[in-house]
Structure 1
Amino acid sequence: MLVAAQAREVRKDDRIERLEKLVAAFKQAAFGRKSEKADPEQFDLALEDLETAVAAVHAEDEADSASGKPHSKPRAANRGSLPAHLPRIEEIIEPESLICTCGGGLHCIGEDVSERLDVVPAQFRVIVTRRPKYACRACTDGVSQAAAPARLIHAGLPTEATIAHVLVSKYADHLPLYRQAQIMSRQGIDLDRSTLADWVGRAAFELRPVFDALIADLKRSTKLFMDETRAPVLDPGSRKTKTGYFWALARDDRPWGGGAPPGVAFTYAPGRGGQHAERILQGFTGILQVDGYAGYNRLIAPDRVGPDIRLAYCWAHARRKLVEITRTGSAPIAEEGVKRIGELYRIEAELRGLTSEARLVGRQERSAPLVANMRTRLTQHRARVAGKSPLGEALAYIAKYWDGLCLFLTDGRIEIDNNSAERSIRPIALNRKNALVAGHDAGAENWATIASLIETCKLNSIDPLAYLTATLTAIVTGHAEPD
């Protein structure tokens, strides 16, 4: 019987070890080094299920321990910490009696304190506004009554806080409106999805001037990032979808201690042509950091009439092409390139947070010689490799954008890659997976407006719900007509 129990413990330990190795593998794929990542979103559900399975096995183990069975090994768990700003509800648990067995009174000599995270489920409530009417008994001068408070939705049900909650749930938490309607219905609030859509559309209209101010502020900068991502949109005439694009224009000066706050503005366009980037950037002069998409070449065409724009390119994209080659087999030249680019990234990690001047000095002293040597090796390898081979095409890509790749060596404000824009645009891609398509071009434009404000809040560590509530309330107070 003892042997059987020991065998069960061994099997349990093996099961825990296998599950934990799977969890570690999934985390590596989702959150590991860029060159080792896969698409993190495809692992989310599987990772949750695996972690749930690990927790269930540990719970079984702890239950066995409580019942007197031998405990296999202690569980190492990160139980987190509870922030100080959360309200505390204290409960004091006293012994059943404060009388000692000898008959004397017990005195407090200390206490054990523990904290647990509790939740009060979201609760809808009704704001009842009463406006008494007053009249004079001595004359007939009329009735006196306070003016009705302004509302974002004329004669509508929601407060501005409710509308902000719907916006954040849809564009930050990726809950489509029909799911929000289902959640509300569980509390007896029967609202049609089209009603919520009306709230969102009216809010987007009122928030448009705020978005316009955001993108105007970004274009006053002299260093920005830009990226684009697909936005499938329904095409009612053909009963199919067409492919539009969200263009992200982002600013993030935090790596070099710049004074301008970070921000991102998304603009919907019906295509990916360079003319859309040119239209969005109208009025901008300075350095634009982008990937190697050819559409951006329009911005630096010799015959272009307009503000001067210089393109800084992305080393992460150059490295990615080499990494893809190393995954298909032995590729010494590609592996050498990945290693050399990795050395540049290690230097950048050490320089991050310094002033732009200090970063420039560090790059000139440490990175510039590495890049110069890399250029020599690149020329040698291109002469030996077939131009149409995957490696030849990767080397040709690097050579084509070489000047823009090296621009970070001349200005401490420039980053080594375009990852700031890619991170900013990632929530758009996640929301696209949940919503599948935008209903029409106007819907995509509203999506871009609201997502811009929410993602800018997140970049500045501001609660989007609080910001949108305050902004919508200010708009209503200052502009909307009373009921």
Structure 2
Amino acid sequence: DASAPEIAESIDAEVSTAESASDAVSSAPKKASGRKPLPAVLPRVRIEHDLAEVDKRCECGCVKTCIGEDTSEQLDIIPAVVQVLVHARKKYACKACENGVHIAELPKQPLPKSNASPGLLAHIAVAKYQDGLPLYRMETIFKRMGIHLPRNTLANWMIKSSECLQPLYNLLNDQLLDSDYIHMDETRVQVLKEPDKTAESLSYMWVRKTGDREHPIILFDYASSRRTDVAASLLGDYQGYLQTDDYAGYHRIGQQEGVTALGCMAHARRKFIEAQKVSPSPKGKVSKADMAITMIKGLYAIEASIKDQSAEQKYQIRQEKSLPQLNKLRAWLDKALQQTLPKGKTGEALAYLDKNWDKLTVYISDGRLNIDNNPVENAIRPFAIGRKNWLFSDSQRGAKASAMLYSIIETAKANGLEPYAYLRTVLTRLPHCETVEDIEKLLPENIELAVI
């Protein structure tokens, strides 16, 4: 790569202005390090420590007076409390008429004729899909408590729980498709028993996330393939902004009328990082990959400085600061393309940036938009971590159940709700819902969590 150190210095100077704004945000005085106080919401158990009676008497013969106390706190934990809920249904009959017996109704359950309560189902779901605990380990834990719950039973409960949650998922899906900004990505998943496929072949978990930061929705959907028709079926007649990576499966959708495709600047940056690793710059030299990364870093510095601003303020600042930076990057890119062979990592990175330029720069046209697709990639991370523990789904029904439960749990978390409390409340109330309005009351922004 032919590039002069002075060019890099010029680029660094341009970037420093943007970075200084970001630095100003993070330069607030840091709180003193040390042990954080224990949460005030936790119950306190008072344990008093007193002097022995002999020590309460002074050497002069008088009895000492208590003048106060010193307190310190320890965090304690009581292992999970397992209990049996005994539903006693009162029966009534008229001894005079003898016209039959009336018995109180049993409250509707998420799994009729099962001995699993909503609380137990929520516990199992959160343990697996939030904490990454495989079902065979839960089977062992229950066994230590003297409870026989085979993993097959646990798996079946999760499948049936997901079917119970379908109406809530449908409502969330409708709201997502009614929004005007969606992030979308996909990640692999292995399903052992799949028609016309070997156990070693890969299937996919597709993930969609709304761009709404106030009431975000995150939905997972299982599919046996990565074809365009899967993405198309998940988006239906959606119109609005669609932010994805450059996977070809999204291209046709991004060209549909009413859809504005956005790219991912993080992917563009990664291409140049790969080029750096393959061809490190000689000492005293600056490669094209180095220069591209520096300029992209400047764009991210601007984003960091405005992350807490309103959409209107973001738009104005991007027009004032990001647009000139993008114009410089485009001018540099045009020259670099002429000077670089298309083969090789640097050539590929330049070609990626050029090919996706329009999609990568849409974000400056609307303050609500993101520079990259990281919001949905971050939403996938809990699934990827859990996958390392449970490794695979046994069947398509199991994979679909996983998608459903990840959807409900991750949406709850994104809205600031504790997932166990939310799922327990939903599984308790959903069987009683008769109208759409009833289900709407269970949405994260509307729900009143049950006191446990």
Give, in whole Å, the separation in 2 of the partners of 1:467 and 1:296. Answer: 33
Q: 1:310 aligns with which of 260, 281, 302?
A: 260
1:96 to 2:46 alignment = no
Q: Partner residue of 1:250?
A: 209
> How many angstroms apart in 2 are the aligned matches of 1:141 and 1:202?
38
- Determine the C-alpha separation between the residues in 2 that align with 1:127 and 1:406: 58
Q: Distance in 2 between matches of 1:129 and 1:246?
A: 40
Q: For 1:169-184, what aligned pairs fall within 5 Å after superposition?
A: 169-184=127-142
Report how far residue 87 of structure 1 moved: 0.4
Residue pairs, 1:270-309, within 5 angstroms: 270-301=224-255, 304=256, 308-309=258-259
The structure whose RCO (Cα within 8 Å, separation 6+) is larger is 2
Q: What SS is found at the alignment partner of 1:352?
A: coil
Q: CA deviation at 1:238?
A: 5.8
Deviation at 1:247, TM superposition (A): 1.1
Give 1:77 deviation, angstroms. 8.2
Residues matched between the structures, number? 395
CA distance in 2 between partners of 1:214 and 1:90 (Å):
45
Aligned match for 2:375, one of 403, 420, 429: 420
Whole-Å separation in 1 of the counterparts to 2:35 and 2:74 = 10
Pairwise CA distance, 1:102: 1.4
Query: Are 2:166 and 1:216 equivalent residues in the alignment?
Result: no
Measure, in 1, the Cα distance between the counterparts of 2:176 and 2:349.
Answer: 33
1:15-414 aligned within 5 A: 78-97=34-53, 98-235=56-193, 240-254=199-213, 260-301=214-255, 304=256, 308-328=258-278, 329-330=280-281, 332-414=287-369
Partner of 2:25: none
TM-score (norm 2): 0.84
1:299 is matched by which residue type in structure 2?
I
How many Å apart are 1:282 and its aligned residue? 0.8
The residue type equivalent to 1:297 in the other structure is H
Unaligned runs of 5+ in 2: 1-31, 435-452
Deviation at 1:118, TM superposition (A): 0.2
SS of the counterpart of 1:439? strand
Contact 2:274 2:345 in 1 (8 A): no
Any conservation in 2 of the 1:248–1:425 contact (CA below 8 Å)? yes
- C-alpha distance in 2, partners of 1:232/1:150? 35
Question: Counterpart of 2:359 in structure 1: which amino acid?
Answer: G
SS of 2:397's partner is helix
Distance apart, 1:128 and its partner CA: 1.4
1:117 is paired with a residue whose SS is coil
8 Å CA contact retained: 1:224, 1:250: yes
Indicate yes or no: 2:426 matched with 1:471: yes
Query: Does the 8 A contact of 1:457 with 1:463 survive in 2?
Result: yes
Conserved? CA contact 2:211–2:369, under 8 Å? no
Which deviates the most, 126-135 or 420-429?
A: 126-135
TM-score scaled by length of structure 1: 0.78
Give the equivalent residue in structure 2 for 1:63. Answer: none
C-alpha deviation, 1:228, in angstroms: 0.7
**Alignment partner of 2:314: what SS?**
helix
For structure 1, the residue ranges without an aligned partner over 5 or more in a row are 1-75, 255-259
The answer on whether the counterparts of 2:155 and 2:398 sit within 8 Å (CA) in structure 1 is no
Task: Indicate the SS of the match to 1:360.
Answer: helix
Q: In structure 1, how many angstroms separate the alpha carbons of the residues matched to 2:146 and 2:416? A: 34
What is the letter of the counterpart of residue 285 of structure 1?
Answer: Q
1:455 and 2:405 are equivalent in the alignment: no
Offset of 1:442 from its aligned partner?
A: 2.3
Cα-to-partner distance string for 1:112-148 (whole Å, 9 max, x where unaligned): 2111100010021111122233333333233232123
Of the structure 1 ranges 312-321 and 132-141, higher mean CA displacement relative to structure 2 is found in 132-141
Equivalent pair of 2:89/2:104 in contact (CA under 8 Å): yes
Stretch moving more, 95-104 or 262-271: 95-104
Shifted more, 172-181 versus 229-238: the winner is 229-238
Render the CA deviation track for 1:254-288: whole Å, top value 9, x for unaligned: 3xxxxx40120011121112221111111211111
User: Counterpart amino acid of 1:459?
Assistant: A
User: Is 145-154 or 111-120 further displaced after alignment?
Assistant: 145-154
Percent identical among aligned pairs is 39
Cα deviation 1:164-186 (Å, max 9, x = unaligned): 11111111111111111110000
Instruction: Please give the root-mean-square deviation of Cα atoms over the aligned residues, in Å.
Output: 1.8
Q: Secondary structure at the match of 1:241?
A: coil
| Mapped partners of 1:376, 1:430: distance in 2 | 41
Looking at structure 1, the residues matched to 433 and 180 of structure 2 have their Cα atoms a distance apart, in angstroms, of 33
User: How far apart, in 2, do the equivalents of 1:312 and 1:470 lie?
Assistant: 37
CA distance in 2, matches of 1:369, 1:476: 56
